[in-house]
Amino acid sequence: MKKTVAIVLAAGEGTRMKSRKAKVLHIVSGIPMINHVINTLSELELDRIYVVVGNQGKDIINALSNRNVDFIWQKKQLGTGHAISQVKNKLNKFDGNVMVLYGDVPLIESITLKNLLNSHSSSDFSATLLTFYPECVSGYGRILRNDEGNIIDIVEESDASKEQLKIKEANSGTYCFIWKKLSQAVDELNTKNVKGELYLTDVIKVLSSKGEKISAINIKNWKEVMGVNTREELVNANYEMNKKILKKWMNNGVTIMDPGSTYIHTKVIIENDTVIYPSTFLEGKSKIGKNCEIGPFTRLINSVIGDDSKVTYSVVHDSKIKKGTNIGPFSYIRPGTEISESAKIGSFVEVKKSFIGKGSKVPHLSYVGDAEIGDKVNIGAGTITVNYDGFRKYKTRIEDNVHVGSDSMLVAPITIGKGAITGAGSVLTKDVPPDSLALERGEQLIKEGWAKRKRELEKKRQLKKKDKNKEGS
């Protein structure tokens, strides 16, 4: 097979998105849509991938900084044909095939591109197009054929006649060319069209007029080549991509109770025999172990969940949860937290940038921030690590086998020694030695009969008020 390179067109502004962000940088299943295109191309045996950038080009380059691609600047966006002309200096000695596609087709499959490339490479056609029959052809360029069925042109919708608009076969914007033929044809393009631009699609007419052979393969699943030009189309692309991701994980042994309310990003990894309950969002680079239960109403962001763990009605953000741990319901695990094996973080608990040891429990209604908690520690309800004085954050250290009484305030910096017990309702400001009892409360005051006398006085006051109101009337 001849050498083959790909050119991804990503210089356009995407005005219909009505966004300050370049169109190809909008997110589909957790990553910019252009990253999906590059991921798919990377599955092919290509010699090089070129990305043509212009509008917000630096941001696109940053988004693809870890990918093995070359960038070509189109400083003035004068059309797709002009974009191809900007690559000519890079390919002036190239003798092979070039695949051209757009950066806004995140659903395109590698097998589709392989079929296109194989069809083109096994023939003597100058160009091979990927065409399709969408449910609604509006917005797409139409494929023009002569009486013998040969492709002779592509007409953009804005330039099409009424008869041409009736054509159902649409241009996907994905092509294979013999590079030398494409390079020569680009030089003959003109701006005689509604937009006054150099259209890549006009290359087909140029080649056809010279007697060059042009072929096409038709894609059955038209959604693969669905471009993203509007917010509605962005939603549709996310929906279709999410369906693909859910299907992949179900085929790999993951139970998803309600696919209609479950959203999983591209880079998420899930081991088998895990169950995902409804209304769950798995985002970023989250990784979930075997035999876990996640959800319902749970959001994981860039977090690791160990085997045999449960996370229910909770948010876990940039944290590590180890094997056999229970989180929730209604817990918030904030970035920088690590929770060890068989620990429990219960209802209405917030943990921030803390380490929780093996078998330790923070059962309910507590805040643990900037803390280091040892093994088999029990944190009573209503406990707060007072970590911030308005200027700086301070650390709380609780060693193994400590029991912290309910409604405790641990004012950092503070260390609670191994095996210590703190009394409920204490405000502790000093370190607690190991195996000791720490108790800080005001003296309890009892006044016998006070409540009864108070009620009698109140009753007299009400009667007096009533009598006064009668006199006034």
Encoding tokens for residue 272? Answer: 């088998």
Q: In this predicted structure, what is the pLDDT of residue 193? A: 87
248's CB contacts (< 8 A; 6+ apart) are none
Q: In this predicted structure, what is the pLDDT of residue 194? A: 85
Say if residues 403 and 429 touch (Cβ distance below 8 Å): no
Whole-model pTM?
Answer: 0.90
The SS3 assignment for 208 reads: helix
How many CB atoms lie under 10 A from the CB of residue 95? 10
How many CB atoms lie under 10 A from the CB of residue 57? 19
Q: Divide the 473 residues of the chain into consecutive groups of 10 and give the mean pLDDT of each group.
A: 92 90 96 98 96 96 95 94 95 95 97 96 94 89 92 92 94 96 95 90 95 94 92 96 98 98 98 98 98 98 98 98 98 98 98 98 97 98 96 97 97 98 96 96 87 92 84 69
Q: What is the DSSP string of 39-85?
A: HHHTTS--SEEEEEEBTBHHHHHHHTTTS--EEEE-SS---HHHHHH
Q: In this predicted structure, what is the pLDDT of residue 1? A: 65
- All structural domains of the chain: 4-225 (3.90.550.10), 231-438 (2.160.10.10)
Q: Return the H-helix or E-strand segment holding 279.
A: none
The SS3 assignment for 280 reads: strand
The span from the CA of 406 to the CA of 421, in Å, is 11
Say if residues 270 and 249 touch (Cβ distance below 8 Å): yes
- Please give the angle made by the CA atoms of 456, 461 and 465, to the nearest 5 degrees: 150
| Main-chain phi, psi angles of 112, to 5 degrees | -65, -45
Tokens 């990918």: give the residue.
67
The span from the CA of 215 to the CA of 152, in Å, is 10
Q: In this predicted structure, what is the pLDDT of residue 334? A: 98
The SS3 assignment for 305 reads: strand
Q: What is the DSSP letter of 23?
A: G
Picking from 283, 309, 304, the residue whose alpha carbon sits closest to that of residue 294 is 309
Query: What's the start-to-end Cα distance of the chain, in Å?
Result: 108
What does the CA dihedral 244, 114, 84, 18 come to, rounded to 10 degrees? -10
Picking from 202, 132, 219, the residue whose alpha carbon sits closest to that of residue 170 is 132
Encoding tokens for residue 303? Answer: 């977090």
CA atoms within 13 A on the CB side of 248: 15
Picking from 76, 82, 78, 115, the residue whose alpha carbon sits closest to that of residue 99 is 115
Query: Where do the H-state alpha helices sit in 148-230?
Result: 179-186, 202-209
- Please give the angle made by the CA atoms of 328, 305 and 235, to the nearest 5 degrees: 85
Q: In this predicted structure, what is the pLDDT of residue 2? A: 84
Encoding tokens for residue 333? Answer: 């695990």
* Cis peptide leading into residue 106 (ω within 30°): no
Tokens 């400001």: give the residue.
429
The span from the CA of 144 to the CA of 169, in Å, is 9
The β-bridge partners of 262 are: 280
Encoding tokens for residue 79? Answer: 């059309």
Could you give the residue numbers annotated as active site?
Answer: 364
Region for 365 from its dihedrals, namely left if φ exceeds 0, alpha if ψ lies in -120 to 50, beta otherwise = left
